[in-house]
Structure 1
Amino acid sequence: MSKEVIEEGQTHGKDYVDPPPAPLFDVAEFKLWSFYRALIAEFIATLLFLYITVATVIGHKKKQDACGGVGLLGIAWAFGGMIFVLVYCTAGISGGHINPAVTFGLLLARKVTLIRAVSYMVAQCLGAICGVGLVKAFMKPYYNSLGGGANTVASGYSTGTALGAEIIGTFVLVYTVFSATDPKRSARDSHIPVLAPLPIGFAVFMVHLATIPITGTGINPARSFGAAVIINDKKAWDDHWIFWVGPFAGALAAAVYHQFILRAAAMKALGSFRSHPSN
């Protein structure tokens, strides 16, 4: 018996079934306190994420002249570590998205409704604006002169290169989210739900190591939008489209790859069709 068949049997032995897809529209969500609680959680989590990470960026740039600061490695740890902490804290309340690209990927996979996805994105963007606003309020003497943590295309790189970096970086993140939260793996390996925030945080960390020199690393439209709104200069807005198109394209690719290739959703649908021939 092949390993795949054994694993399938073990999974079925734990009564695993694919959860039904979320409805596209579910107006009943507006009547649930859990829906508004999740929006608050996404808002606060994104606020904290932007406050800590952008403050780290500004602090690093402030001390660069004195050969100090945390360095690019420290910045990457700040982003990855905060995602680990915040996903751990909010996963049971809102799912711990903290990123419109993650929300978009889960919408495409029918894990959340369209109403919840759009509401999450609005909450995330508002939280990001407030988080960066706090950084500016606390570090005002240095905020504007040091770039405000805004994402821009670094000198020497083309917009095409920056867009590609954002697509691949977001693909890595959203693919990790799908893999770490896969209900089939959760049914087979009980430790998976507990460990899920760790690989997600590490994915953010690794992507930052690779793409900070190119774009400052977006892979999160709310993060880029919040910083652009508060700094509000021409360069940040000129490049800003990259930090929406890239992450959303990367999330789309990750959703298709995980759902239709790794989880074989298309083959399952075809098999179901063949097993119920028309009369």
Structure 2
Amino acid sequence: MNYNQSFGAIYDVGLVKAFHSSYYTKYGGGANELADGYNIGTGLGTEILGTFVLVYTVFSATDPKRNARDSHVLVLAPLPIGFAVFIVHLATIPITGTGINPARSLGATVIYNNDKAWNDQWIFWVGPFIGAAIVALYHQYILRAGAVKALGVDELEVSSSC
């Protein structure tokens, strides 16, 4: 994540507040908060799992190591990624409001400036970072390692092509 994304989120939420203040107020500024009735562990787990599903889908749909028969997959990559975002939102909106992007969560919280949103903000940073780290390790050391063994590719050949 870069700073441009965070500043862009803050700016965009400011525009929404300026031009659509009634909707902005009605929906809590779009700020992510842990819903009543859920504990911190559930919220954190929700963000970890939601991010895992999204990042796993992105890695799988855009993996350049796929074989030639799957060459059409890169053209269709937005479809599974968009579907993953849709499914993650369906599952996590009732619990956390669906963070899965720390910059988006930060932008809404900065402009909304609510105590509960600030207190819960760490969930929307720690969860996505843990979820993304787990899937990156899983993809690199489990999936790629299994593919290397199955194909009998020399380890030096794989590391030099990455």
Mapping of 1:67-78 within 5 angstroms?
none
Q: Identical aligned pairs, as a percentage?
A: 71
Name the counterpart of 2:55. 174
Name the counterpart of 2:160. none
- The answer as to 2:39 corresponding to 1:163 is no
Q: How far apart are the structure 2 equivalents of 1:219 and 1:139?
A: 24
Q: How far apart are the structure 1 equivalents of 2:67 and 2:118?
A: 41
| Cα pair 1:208 1:217 within 8 Å, conserved | yes
Structure 2 gaps, min length 5: 157-162
| Cα pair 1:181 1:193 within 8 Å, conserved | yes
The residue matched to 2:138 in structure 1 has which SS? helix
Name the counterpart of 2:134. 253
**Which of 97, 112, 134 does residue 231 from structure 1 map onto?**
112
The residue matched to 1:156 in structure 2 has which SS? coil
**Runs ≥4 in structure 1, deviation > 3 angstroms?**
none
The residue identity in structure 1 corresponding to 2:130 is: A
Q: How many residues were matched structurally?
A: 152
Structure label with greater radius of gyration: 1
| Cα pair 1:167 1:247 within 8 Å, conserved | yes
Q: Deviations over 1:169-204 (max 9, x none)?
A: 000000001001100226442211111111111111
The residue matched to 2:35 in structure 1 has which SS? coil
Name the counterpart of 2:81. 200
**Which of 126, 148, 164 does residue 7 from structure 2 map onto?**
126
Greater relative contact order, per chain length (Cα 8 Å cut-off, separation 6+): 2
Q: 1:180 to 1:150 in 2, by over 3 A?
A: same
The residue identity in structure 2 corresponding to 1:124 is: Q
Name the counterpart of 2:159. none
The residue matched to 1:144 in structure 2 has which SS? helix
Structure 1 gaps, min length 5: 1-99, 101-120, 274-279
The residue identity in structure 2 corresponding to 1:222 is: A
The residue matched to 1:185 in structure 2 has which SS? coil
Q: 1:126 Cα shift?
A: 1.3
The residue identity in structure 2 corresponding to 1:216 is: G
| Cα pair 1:186 1:193 within 8 Å, conserved | no
The residue matched to 2:66 in structure 1 has which SS? helix
Choose between structure 1 and 2: higher helix proportion: 2
Q: How far apart are the structure 2 equivalents of 1:198 and 1:126?
A: 28
The residue identity in structure 1 corresponding to 2:110 is: V
